[in-house]
Structure 1
Amino acid sequence: MPEPTVPKEAIGHGDGGSAALAIGEAESLERRPGAAPPGAGPPGGVPAGKPRSLWSDAWHDLCRNPVFVLSALVILFLVLIAIWPQLIATGNPYRADLAKAQQGSQPGHPFGFDTQGRDVYTRVVYGARASITVGVCATTGAALLGSLLGGLAGFFGGWWDTLLSRVADIFFGIPVILGGLVFLSMITSTTVWPVVGFIVLLGWPQVSRIARGSVVTAKHNDYVQAARALGAGNGRMLLRHIAPNAVAPVIVVATIALGTFIALEATLSYLGAGLKPPTISWGIDISTASPYIRSAPHMLLWPAGALSITVLAFIMLGDAVRDALDPKLR
């Protein structure tokens, strides 16, 4: 006896996820063995006019955006010299020659020398390592912690959501610079990790609010309700259905925040509470050169210029990613 088929006319029309699942199931029941699926192209070929996903569509737009291409090339170069500074700077950033203190550009030393006779060019190149490390590690930590806490609060709601909101409000009320001066002044470590930990501590609430709002919006969509009706557990719904559709705003905020965190590290280092010598940092060099801005401006302009270019590149990259991932801006 032939299997009964389900007429598609019996299924209510609409743009809901449950209706789409039901229509897809009805179409699969109507197919006969050996019949080509509706809309399929030639055998072995890709269906004509196949729509791109959000991510492939965003990547296509980014590749055609000159702002993204330029900022990505600058960031790629900065990451490269942060990993291998010897590629473009063969000198020793700690080598000092007091006889050349505060002298300007010379052959082999295009940026001149600082107050201790150290090569400014070499120190600018090596200073990228600390700034990029702090920015990337702090952004990754804040994004992971904020996404985890905010996503769970948005999905489960209730007392967990209320508790997280109140804790986030407390951290929002702490002045960043003042908090950094108080917190980091008690630490004598010369590594980057205390600065990274402080930035993560004050940076996760912003990401958590973005993640919470995205998850609250995504969990009410029809495809999530259909997955729940089909028996999907909380873990499966979070990882398979909600997270891929709620992560885009978090990526945008994290990309822009990366440049902000680099500037924050330089500010704290300038004030003497961030990175400390012998660590090489743009903020430390700017602080050392600021009293000599009139007599030796090159000592200040080169590290400040490198810092500005780095922060601007990450902010431009974040703006380009935001424009590509936000359908309302298309």
Structure 2
Amino acid sequence: MPEPVTPVTVEAQLTPGAPEGGGAEGPARSLWSDAWRSLRRNPVFIVSALIILFLVIVAIWPQLLASGDPNDCDLAHGQDTSSSGHPFGYDAQGCDVYTRTVYGARASITVGVCATAGVALLGGILGALAGFFGRWADALLSRVADIFFGIPVILGGLVLLSVVTSTTVWPVVGFIVLLGWPQISRIARGSVITVKENDYVHAARTLGASNSRILLRHILPNAIAPVIVVATIALGTYIALEATLSFLGVGLKPPAVSWGIDISNAAPYIRNAPHMLLYPAGALALTVLAFIMLGDAVRDALDPKLR
């Protein structure tokens, strides 16, 4: 007669990637180890990660590349082109474009990282709860998400941020989180609904596992990959959104240093002094591109269908 299966043996088989045959062949590689192995061989990931690492270092320690004050301006040099010690020239107010471009990375990276973390946390939690419990909780959260989906982002920013007088990044971060969570919520909801129908989830429920244990141990580790992919790509989008709102005058406000503010100030002088627009716009484009490339690489690594 076959030996009875003990609860310990069943529990060990609940999570995908658990060792088979009592560990005689060693533990099977998990989704995350396979993804990391794929990322290390992807040149797109390596290039984008190096660019992002450089930008993060610049955002934390801008003094490493620029020793001047970004708000130290001299009207006598207004719109001057590059000169010794000032490779990017001056803007209309006589501020050093190079220094302002370097210091502008701090605001953009801070907004992108904090907004993405807030959106992923809020949207992921609400979406996971809606997908796991279903019924009235799913219906309620889905209708609330539909309401926020119906608010145009730019129009909402013009209305909500126009009454804010703060010069910090937090009003912009809060606005992005407020309107950005429904997208992550829907992705998390769909992923949880798919995962919770797997056999190992039903087995855990049969063994008497609580809802919190099922959700945290068996569902979320296998449903979080799409959320990570979308959040990584959205990070670059949020940086571009901050620059757009600052360009329109409702995002970051002087004396804050932002690429969006510098692009807005340089727009009227694009014919006579294109260097004022070229460098902050180029830094913004490179940053957004790096995060989008990183998101694409992460998506390819985490999606088994693309391997």
**What interval of TM-score do these two structures reach, taking the shorter chain for normalisation?**
over 0.9
Question: Runs of 4 or more off by more than 4 Å in structure 1?
Answer: 22-25
- Percent identity, aligned pairs only, is 75
Aligned to 2:233: 256
Task: Confirm or deny that 1:135 pairs with 2:135.
Answer: no
Q: Which runs of 5+ in 2 are unaligned?
A: 15-20
Letter in 1 for 2:49: A
Question: With structure 2 as the length reference, what TM-score do the two structures score?
Answer: 0.94
Task: Confirm or deny that 1:53 pairs with 2:19.
Answer: no
Aligned to 2:223: 246
Aligned to 1:40: 24
Aligned to 1:228: 205
Aligned to 2:50: 73
Task: Confirm or deny that 1:281 pairs with 2:255.
Answer: no
Q: How big is the alpha-carbon RMSD for the aligned residues of Structure 1 and Structure 2? A: 1.9
Aligned to 1:91: 68
Aligned to 1:329: 306
Q: Which runs of 5+ in 1 are unaligned?
A: 9-17, 26-36, 42-46
Q: Report the alpha carbon displacement of residue 324 of structure 1 after superposing the two structures with TM.
A: 0.3
Alpha carbons of 1:142 and 1:95: their partners in 2 closer, same or farther (altered >3 Å)?
Answer: same
| Aligned counterpart in structure 1 of residue 122 of structure 2, from 125, 131, 145 | 145
1:208-233 Cα offsets, whole Å, 9 max, x none, are 00000010011110000000001100
| Aligned counterpart in structure 1 of residue 154 of structure 2, from 177, 181, 203 | 177
Alignment of 1:290-305 (within 5 A): 290-305=267-282
1:119-147 Cα offsets, whole Å, 9 max, x none, are 10000000000000001000100000000
Aligned residue pair count: 299
DSSP 3-state at the match of 1:319: helix
Alignment of 1:196-235 (within 5 A): 196-235=173-212
DSSP 3-state at the match of 1:185: helix
| Aligned counterpart in structure 1 of residue 3 of structure 2, from 2, 6, 23 | 6
Between the aligned partners of 1:103 and 1:170, the Cα distance in structure 2 is 49
Letter in 2 for 1:156: F
Alpha carbons of 1:23 and 1:219: their partners in 2 closer, same or farther (altered >3 Å)?
Answer: closer
Would you say the 8 A contact 2:72–2:95 is kept in 1? Answer: yes
For the pair shown, the structure with the greater C-alpha radius of gyration is: 1
Aligned to 1:31: none
Between the aligned partners of 2:227 and 2:23, the Cα distance in structure 1 is 36
Between the aligned partners of 2:148 and 2:11, the Cα distance in structure 1 is 46
Q: Report the alpha carbon displacement of residue 39 of structure 1 after superposing the two structures with TM.
A: 6.3
Letter in 1 for 2:70: P
Between the aligned partners of 2:242 and 2:23, the Cα distance in structure 1 is 55
Q: Report the alpha carbon displacement of residue 40 of structure 1 after superposing the two structures with TM.
A: 2.7
Alpha carbons of 1:222 and 1:296: their partners in 2 closer, same or farther (altered >3 Å)?
Answer: same
Between the aligned partners of 2:229 and 2:44, the Cα distance in structure 1 is 15
Between the aligned partners of 1:312 and 1:135, the Cα distance in structure 2 is 13
Q: Report the alpha carbon displacement of residue 114 of structure 1 after superposing the two structures with TM.
A: 0.6
